[in-house]
Amino acid sequence: MVSCSICGERACYHRRYSGQRFCAEHFLEYFERKVKKTMLRYRMVERGERIGVAVSGGKDSLTLLRILDRLAGRLSLELHAILIDEGIANYREETIERARRFCEELGVPLRVLSFREHFRLALDEAVRLSHRNACTFCGVFRRKLLNDAARELGCDRLATGHNLDDEVQAILMNFLRGDLERLLRLGTRTRSERLVPRIKPLMEMPEKEVALYALLAGIPASFEECPYAVQSFRTEVREMINRLEESNPGIKFSILRSYQKLLPLLESYGVKQLQSCRTCGEPSSGERCRACLLLEELTRSASR
């Protein structure tokens, strides 16, 4: 039997990059402490703030909600869960149900916004009208609705469940594509009053640890995959990183640290000022925002 480095009970996790082994109880303790430390280190929240929490019903967002809920009392945080229903048949219904149940259990108010109600079409319909990848619409429209909801609710921050793996994948993807603008945007503070500042409390937690936390803490998260999540550039990058991590434990952290060291250099190279979208007035890097451009494209295909 493999045993916990702290108490000698049976270990359920071997944290290879530090050599420690944890039993269930000590893993949960370690995980919560580490998330707390990350939040302090990056000064993610301040006492008394109102925090919007983006939830989907998956393991990352429900784990995030549970941990913020545990910190809420001591820091007098006011939490508001926000869920975006993109309109993905045979997938989203169940995850919404799980999120709803968990919010009820914790007593956190939940606001649900749907693509159908705000853009007049579900993601499934958008995909049928376009040659574009579902994730393109999904990402752009979801980001917009999350920001709208957080702003309407008067939130000081918007917390998302991005984990270490998500971060490192995004860093490498932007680097490999030579997209310096996006590479920079990943790590800099928002540059517009209309954008609610985002925080990512799980950004230093590997995806496997988040899943383990959700399982051990009995969080009713869904482990199903979105039907649109097919083989993509992101999958290739993920597989490459995980192969590297297997033979070089800790490399995900070192990619994140390298990025953080590079950030000041990237910033001095110039942060593009955001303008207001000519159509909707929301912050945009071009004359019109991505959401408006995509919507117009969809309206054109629909009338054809």
Which residues of this protein are in contact with ligand SF4, per CB under 6 A? 86, 134-135, 138-139, 226, 228-229
- Residue 32 CA to residue 150 CA, distance in Å, equals 25
Say how far apart CA 26 and CA 209 lie, in whole Å: 13
Q: CB of 197: closest distance to Zn ion in angstroms?
A: 20
Q: Are 57 and 222 in contact (CB under 8 A)?
A: yes
Instruction: Choose the binding region for another protein from 109-117, 148-156, 205-213, 258-266 (rule: CB under 8 A).
Output: 205-213
Shorter beta-carbon distance to another protein: residue 117 or 246: 246
243's contact among Zn ion, ligand SF4, another protein, none, with CB below 5 to 8 A by partner kind, is: another protein
Cα–Cα distance for residue pair 302/304, rounded to 1 Å: 5
**Least CB distance from residue 127 to ligand SF4, whole Å?**
8
Give ∠ CA 87-63-98 in degrees, rounded to 5. Answer: 40
Q: How far apart are CA 266 and CA 182, in angstroms?
A: 11
231 lies in the site for another protein, by CB under 8 A? no
Please give the full DSSP string across 27-61, using - where no structure is assigned: HHHHHHHHHHHHHHHTT---TT-EEEEEE-SBHHH
Q: How far is the CB of 249 from another protein (least distance, A)?
A: 10
**Is residue 210 at the binding interface for another protein, with CB under 8 A as the rule?**
yes
Q: Binding of another protein at residue 143 (CB under 8 A)?
A: no
Among 71, 215, 256, 293, binds another protein (CB under 8 A): 215
Site residues for Zn ion per CB under 5 A: 4, 6-7, 9, 23, 26, 277, 279-280, 289, 292
Our finding on whether 95 is near another protein (CB under 8 A) is yes
Q: Which residue has the tokens 């051990």?
A: 216
CB of 72 to another protein, least distance (A): 24
Q: Does residue 141 sit in helix, strand or coil?
A: helix
Binding residue count for another protein, defined by CB under 8 A? 37
Q: Minimum distance from CB of 142 to ligand SF4 (Å)? A: 7
85 binds, among Zn ion, ligand SF4, another protein, none (CB under 5 to 8 A by kind): none
- 6: how many CB neighbours lie within 10 A of its CB? 16
Contact region with another protein (CB under 8 A), list: 28-36, 241-249, 265-273, 289-297? 241-249
116 binds, options another protein, Zn ion, ligand SF4, none, Cβ within 5 to 8 A by partner type: none
Establish if 226 lies at the interface with another protein (CB under 8 A). yes
φ and ψ of 6, to 5 deg: -95, -50
Site for another protein in 257-296 (CB under 8 A): none
Neighbours of 109 (CB within 10 A): 12
- The 3-state DSSP class for residue 142 equals helix
Q: Does 56 bind another protein (CB under 8 A)?
A: yes
Long-range contacts of 114-118 (CB under 8 A, 24+ apart): 114/84, 114/85, 114/86, 114/87, 115/84, 115/85, 115/86, 115/87, 115/141, 115/145, 116/85, 116/87, 118/145, 118/148
Binding site for another protein (CB under 8 A): 1-2, 10-14, 21, 24, 56, 58-60, 91, 95, 165, 206-208, 210-212, 215-216, 223-226, 229, 234-235, 238-239, 242-243, 245-246
